[in-house]
Amino acid sequence: MMMNIESNFVKTIMEDDLASGKVDEIITRFPPEPNAYLHIGHARAIVMNFELAKAFGGKTNLRFDDTNPLKEDTTFVEAIKHDIRWLGYEPDTVLFGSDYFDQTYAYAVKLIKEGLAFVCDLSPEEVSQYRGTLKEPGKESPWRNRSVEENLRLFEEMKDGKYADGEKTLRAKINMAHPNMNMRDPVIYRIIHTTHHNTKDKWCIYPMYDFAHPIQDAIEGITHSLCSLEYEDHRVLYDWFIEKCEPPHTPHQYEFGRLNIPNTIMSKRYLRELVEEDLVDGYDDPRMPTLAGLRRRGVTPEAIKEFIISAGLSRQNSTVSIDMLDTAVRNDLQPKTKRIHAVVDPLKVIITNYPEDKIESQTVSYHPNRDDFGERELPFGREVYIERQDFLPEKPNRKWRRLSLGEEVRLMHAYFITCNDIIYNEDDSIKELHCTYDEKTKSGSGFKGRKPNGNLHFVEKSTGLSAKFNMVGPLLIEDDEDEDLSFKERLNPDSMIVQEGFVEPSVKDAKPGDRFQFMRLGYYVVDKTSSPEHLVFNKTVDLRGRRRKK
Ligand code: ATP
Ligand code: MG
């Protein structure tokens, strides 16, 4: 099931631009900064850039915005490439902002020559003091009226490493009284003496995003440069640089609303903090809202796409419930995962009237609508495990369709059993149950004599494989508006509960990434730490969404 992108305001702009002949084809780009892993919010930008271009037979580049060498790293470059391919997108070209450092430098020189840029000696603190406020105009830098010759010489010296970090900047000469603060002589080049992941030590001056981005878009022939809403106030500056630099192609910027999900951290800075302070097990911790984390949790790329597309694209930021993603995951996995028996919180049951050494098995299909999945043997014997939550000593009410003392239930693909006795541990917890089975009720025999008090899944003890289950829950507890806690104070202590239990023997050769539906429980995926000797599963999502309590 692959959704097509519905109509949205950007698609309409593209249609109009093609119809009017303003552009002949659609070329977009996704421009991540390689300073962390991608998160689910980025999925909106990725899906929209790729799907919109695809809808018109256009192209999408992946361009790493790597103009700040202090924060960027090749491991993030590789992780981002991998995540985009995992989502099912193949960039037309993979590029780096740093590929254009020569051209970007040449455009800066052009601005200097035209009296539109100057080398400024103010410190970063002074630059912000001079900038003014939204209500008051800024003050012009005392270095603003340097001659073109002096500016050219100083800028070259900056490039040649004559000055220390922060000692000088190159600034555009626009208008210190402009109502839009971004237009008040913005810095366009700064000095950073450090090794860049691509260009190594070739440069010690680096362009600012606002200057570099429109130039990169222009060089690549990007027609629609899509970005999130916080760049709206930068568009005039984007257009100013294009107008003054006069590149051969004119790109245009369009802003869309950001995707927010309640109780979900969607800022690389915070995600990075979680990882660097070891509060999670890396960027791919299954609790993380990173694409790598979602993947390890078993979420499918198809579900992420469906979620992003069905949430739509508007000019406003939007908040979308994570329940929508969970629903998309269930809809995607329902027809395409094998259904098996697993007991995540085992309670031992002894069938006292069943022979000691006998094991019998039923041939059971993996999925009611998928003959292609085949069948497996599901063993049954004298000792089985059921789910602890499927037993209560006393039937609490008439709706209890599970096991209680004196009640009879069906063990799916086996027999009806009746509970006769509860054996307790010294601490009064339940140790095991003693039950009896009725031979006549064998599954598949067509027995219609009576109705059991529910259907339970089980795993036979001697053939079951022990397994560990990571019960992945929300990383953050709900934000209480009155308390105003920091995100670290909101970390959910129960976000990952590890349980030990059993799975049926057919799962023996499951590989990391294999997904299953555990009957009556939910969808699970084999974790990367799993081995045939030590199976480890992560819970992807419950079988049904819980009703939200008021
Ligand atoms: P963060 O704000 O999480 O630190 P970022 O915006 O700094 O992320 P970039 O690498 O600059 O990260 O993002 C690449 C692209 O993804 C940008 O075009 C940005 O607008 C877009 N993007 C990032 N987060 C979201 C979001 N929550 N919703 C929609 N688009 C997003
Ligand atoms: Mg950003």
Domain ends where: 285, 303, 336? Answer: 336
- d(CA 123, ligand 1 centre) in Å: 29
**Phi-psi label, residue 246: left if phi above 0, alpha if psi -120 to 50, beta otherwise:** left
In a domain, 476, yes or no: yes
Q: Please tell me what DSSP assigns to residue 371.
A: G
Q: In this structure, are 379 and 452 located in the same domain? A: yes
Tell me, yes or no, whether 329 and 346 share the same domain: no
| 282 assigned to some structural domain | yes
Residue 18, Cβ neighbours under 10 Å: how many?
16
Asked whether residue 155 is assigned to any structural domain, the reply reads no
Could you tell me if 375 and 280 lie in one domain? no
Do 328 and 344 fall within a single domain?
no
Closest CA to 540 of 519, 550, 526, 520: 526
Of 302, 336, 370, which marks where a domain is finished? 336
Asked whether residue 272 is assigned to any structural domain, the reply reads: yes
Residues 370 and 519 in one domain: yes
Statement to judge: residues 314 and 366 lie in one domain: no
Last residue of a domain, one of 297, 312, 336: 336
275 and 347 in a single domain? The answer is no
Nearest to 73 by CA among 304, 283, 296: 283
Structure confidence by residue, pLDDT tens digits, 129-167: 999 999 999 999 999 999 999 999 999 999 999 999 999
The ligand placed nearest to the CA atom of residue 35 is: 1
Q: Is the CB of 227 under 6 A from ligand 1?
A: yes
- CA 514 to ligand 2 center in whole angstroms: 34
Q: Is residue 170 part of a domain?
A: no
Residues 347 and 443 in one domain: yes
Number of domains in the chain: 2
Same-domain check for residues 302 and 443: no
pLDDT for the residue numbered 483? 73
For 316, 343, 458, the CA distances from 468, given in Å and listed in that order, are 43, 10, 16
Counting from 1 in the atom list of ligand 1, the atom nearest the Cα of 258 is: 28
* For ligand 1, atom 27: residue with the closest CA: 41
> What is residue 290's DSSP assignment?
B
**Is 137 a domain residue?**
no
The answer to whether the CB of 457 falls within 8 A of the CB of 387 is yes
Enter the pTM of the model. Answer: 0.94
Question: Which domain CATH number covers 56?
Answer: 3.40.50.620
Long-range Cβ contacts of 150-158 (<8 Å, 24+ apart): 150/119, 151/112, 151/117, 151/118, 151/119, 152/109, 152/112, 152/113, 154/119, 155/108, 155/109, 155/112, 155/119, 155/189, 158/119, 158/189, 158/191, 158/204, 158/205
Exposed, middle or buried by CB within 10 Å (0-12, 13-18, 19+), for 534?
A: exposed
pLDDT, position 549: 47
Q: Which domain holds residue 13?
A: 1-92+257-336
Between the alpha carbon of residue 97 and those of residues 134, 244, 255, 273, the distances in Å are 31, 20, 20, 26
Are 326 and 347 in the same domain?
Answer: no
Q: Let me know if residue 510 belongs to a domain.
A: yes
Residues carrying an active site annotation: 33, 258, 268
CA of 41 to the centre of ligand 1 (A): 7
CA-nearest residue, atom 15 of ligand 1:
32
Pocket test for ligand 1, best of 42, 77, 319 (most atoms within 8 A of CB): 42
Query: Which of 80, 89, 228, when mutated, tests ligand 1's pocket best, judged by the most ligand atoms within 8 Å of its CB?
Result: 228
194 in any annotated domain: no
Q: What is the pLDDT of residue 534?
A: 94
State percent of the chain over pLDDT 70: 98
Sequence-distant (≥ 6) Cβ neighbours of residue 171 within 8 angstroms: 117, 118, 119, 120, 141, 185, 186, 187, 188
CATH number assigned to the domain comprising residue 509: 2.40.240.10
272 within ligand 1 shell (Cβ under 6 A):
no
Q: Which residues of the chain have pLDDT under 50?
A: 1, 549-550
Q: Are residues 399 and 278 in the same domain?
A: no
Does residue 388 share a domain with residue 267? Answer: no
For ligand 1, is residue 42 a contact (CB within 6 Å)? yes
